[in-house]
Structure 1
Amino acid sequence: MNLNRLLTISEKEFLDHLISKRFFVLLAIICVILCVSAINGVNNYNNALDRYKAGSETEVFQPTAVMVFTEITNSIGVYSLGAIIGLALGFDLISGEREAGSLKTILSRPLYRDELINGKAIGGIISLAILTFVGFALVIATMLILGIVPDLEDISMIGIVWLLTILFILTAFSIAVMSSVIAKTSSEALMIALVITFVLFLIIPTIGGDIGTKILIGDPPEESEYSSGSSGYNEDFQEIQQEYYRKEDFISEFTNMFSARIIYNDLVAPLTWPSFYAISKLDFSDDISRHGELEKPSIWGIMQDKWIKIIVFLMWPVLFFGIAYVKFMRADLR
């Protein structure tokens, strides 16, 4: 692989994205949606601040400016704005060249296939970074206009949320690139990418947990089945019930690993709303008075708690791009 050729292809791909109508449409969509989300996020932040001052048990720590990004990350993850952006930028990366008949011409020059696909991917990733950076910068500007000034720690947290956002969008982008390599036309590539994204992001985590629970552990226990008339049967039933729900949670967590959307929201939640995260770590048996003893979660503590999900989150774009890379290297382009 020649580094100069790789950089040349990356630069050309990035400039092609930058001057395209699609890029400006996506940028406009991001700016509008994130600005609206920022306004809602500011309202949520002010309400949380009022709850904290009133001594509410739901706000253990004083809310920071990062809480505004709760609505931003919901728009990107829960409402799938990030997936749409990633698919829109990558679905015709290779299939578009094949459809236009320019792929053979490009590869007839002194250029290797890995340089082409890697260069195109790098150009697309830089475009994604620019799109999200502009969106996040606009959110910060909106916060400043509305009187919320983030400090250095808040800025660093927002930077981490931005990096996680890029990784999430990159997952959808890599799915689109893989589909673009597999399909012969851009429309076919878009359909394949939409189906894969729909199944992985929505179907498996939504239905997979219920199906897995039914197959592996069956229906939840009913109290009547364990009514023996003895004074201790209530305790026995509670233990059986708790064991059942522990297994159900494990199956649900496992199926959620297939959804980058759920993992993304699970990783950014401790950063944007640390009070909720800290309270959720308590057992149901813990006394409510223990809330005052909780410590604000640190980046290192969150990483230790979420390390498996972080690995899986990094694995998804690598996996899909790896499939695209191998498929493209072996494809018959005649």
Structure 2
Amino acid sequence: MKSQAAFFNGLFSAGSKSVSPSPFFVMVRKEVADQVRSWRFIILAGLILLTFFASMYVSMINISKAVSNYDDPDRLFLYLKLLTTSDGALPPFHVFIGFLGPLLGISLGFDAINSEQSNGTLIRLMAQPVYRDSVINAKFVASLIVISTLFLSLNLLMIGGGLYITGVSIEPSECIRILGFVLLSIIYVAFWLNLSILLSVKFKQAATSALTAIAIWLFFTVFYQIILNIAIKAFLPDPNQLTQDQVISYNGIILTFLRLVPSQLYADATTTLLMPSVRSLGPLTMEQMAGAIPSPLSVRESLLVVWPQVSGLIAATVVCFALSYYLFMRREIRT
């Protein structure tokens, strides 16, 4: 009897022992809490929320006109119209994300590493039984959780508002396209997040990494297209003097250089996902258009059209993270 009692007592006492969480998940929880409580995230999230509600308000006002336009093959996709309809006063929501998303990613990562080192907390953290790669992985995963929660919540709010106001149920294809838009937005912001983390590892001062990240964003947003237009006029012939095939190759060259910009990849992919009638992202000849029926593409066909843009964004994101990981693992941390 004593042996049986001892056995059950040991069993219950072993089951009551709490398992200590992994240091990685502890750092992720800590980073998520710090980012959500920071003023820069609150301000940027407030801007995104403001633009979201403004875009949804404009879409709700003009949704009846968009749905009643029988010349538009996308008029039956009500919830996609909520994300793409505009009266010209305000751009659609995905255009706002293409502009504000990089700022959100930069704000979450520009001081991820250098601020820890300048404050003296990084060497204290490294003195604990923690793997070095867990630090940078926790920084990235925590920021990704915050970004994913924000975008998923906004789109679920849009779907819920559409259900409440219109009473029209959402189609499965629309749901898949909206989830694809959410995933694409997360990947796009994650690229800028990894770029800012890379600059945070490279530079010792947080101000230097922030200014460098903003300068890269401004270059790709404003100055890249200006430089490209100047180069096109200087090196390429006048398109008015070219044949049809030469004009197609001419436009193909321009599109190739434009797609070196992450924002252009994101704009092309979101336009195709949210507008099922978009059949191609490049110029088409009259022979290719002959016999084509103006009907929406299926989800699978739209994904096949945007897969090069999506794979380009994923590749750029992975390259930035790999470089930041490599530099951080080889970095010498001193007091």
Fold similarity call, TM over 0.5: yes
Which string of whole-angstrom CA distances, capped at 9 and with x for unpartnered residues, describes residues 260-279 of structure 1?
1111111111222223x138
2:100 is aligned with 1:81? yes
The one-letter code sitting in structure 1 at the alignment partner of 2:238 is D
Aligned residue for 1:25?
43
User: Bigger CA drift: 255-264 or 193-202?
Assistant: 193-202
Equivalent residue, structure 2, for 1:143: 162
Which consecutive residues of structure 2, in runs of 5 or more, have no partner in the other structure? 1-20, 85-91
Q: SS at the partner of 2:147?
A: helix
| Structure 2 CA distance for partners of 1:283 and 1:184, relative to 1, 3 Å | closer
The one-letter amino acid paired with 1:118 is N
How far apart are 1:86 and its partner, in Å?
0.9
CA contact (8 A) 2:248 2:284 kept: no
How many Å separate the matches in 2 of 1:281 and 1:187? 40
110-119 or 242-251, which deviates more: 242-251
TM value normalised by structure 2: 0.82
Pairing 1:211-290 to 2, within 5 Å after superposition: 211=231, 214-215=234-235, 217-220=236-239, 222=241, 240-275=242-277, 277-278=278-279, 283=284, 285=286
Counterparts of residues 252-331 of structure 1 (less than 5 Å): 252-275=254-277, 277-278=278-279, 283=284, 285=286, 293-331=293-331
Gaps of 5+ in 1: 223-239
- Partner residue of 1:98? 117
Q: Do the aligned residues in 1 keep the contact of 2:56 with 2:82 (CA within 8 Å)?
A: yes
SS at match of 2:239: coil
CA apart distance, 1:210: 4.9
| Amino acid in structure 2 at the alignment position of 1:22 | R
Name the aligned partner's letter for residue 186 of structure 2: I
Q: Equivalent residue of 1:119, what SS?
A: helix
Kindly report which structure 2 residues correspond to 1:24-173, keeping only aligned pairs within 5 A, or say none.
24-52=42-70, 56=71, 58-59=72-73, 62-70=76-84, 71-77=92-98, 80-147=99-166, 149-153=168-172, 154-173=174-193
When the two structures are aligned, how many residues end up with a matched partner? 306
RMSD: 2.7
Whole-angstrom CA distance in 2 between matches of 1:259 and 1:310:
13
Paired residues of 1:87 and 1:173 also in contact (CA < 8 A): yes
- How many Å separate the matches in 2 of 1:142 and 1:204? 38
Residue 185 (structure 1) aligns with:
205
1:34–1:72 CA contact under 8 A, matched in 2: yes
TM-aligned CA deviation for residue 60 of structure 1: 6.2
CA-CA distance at 1:305 after TM superposition: 2.4
For the Cα contact (< 8 Å) 2:41–2:104, is it kept in 1? Answer: no
Give distance in 1, aligned partners of 2:265 and 2:247.
Answer: 21
Sequence identity percentage: 22
Once the two structures are TM-superposed, the CA of residue 288 in structure 1 deviates from its matched residue by: 9.1
User: Is the Cα–Cα contact under 8 Å of residues 104 and 189 in structure 2 kept in the other structure?
Assistant: yes
CA pair 303-140 structure 1, distance change in 2 beyond 3 A: closer
Q: What amino acid maps onto 1:14 in structure 2? A: V
Q: Deviations over 1:163-187 (max 9, x none)?
A: 1111111111111111111111111
Q: Which has the larger radius of gyration?
A: 2
Task: Give the distance between the partners of 1:324 and 1:280, measured in 2 at CA.
Answer: 32
Deviates more, 1:277-286 or 1:309-318: 277-286
Query: Alpha-carbon deviations, 1:248-300, whole Å to 9, x = none?
Result: 2222222122211111111111222223x138788463699956x34421222
TM-superposed deviation, 1:146: 3.6
Distance across 2 between alignment mates of 1:66 and 1:166: 18
Q: For residues 84-125 of structure 1, give each alpha carbon's deviation from its aligned partner in whole angstroms, at most 9, with x where no partner exists.
A: 111111111112212222111111222222111011111111
Query: In 2 relative to 1, CA 141–330 (structure 1 residues): closer, same or farther, beyond 3 Å?
Result: same
Shift of 1:202: 4.1
State the alpha-carbon separation in 2 of the partners of residues 319 and 199 from structure 1.
Answer: 20
Deviations 1:177-233 (A, max 9, x none): 111111111111100111222233443355336525643x333354xxxxxxxxxxx
Quick one: distance in 1 between partners of 2:198 and 2:136? 11
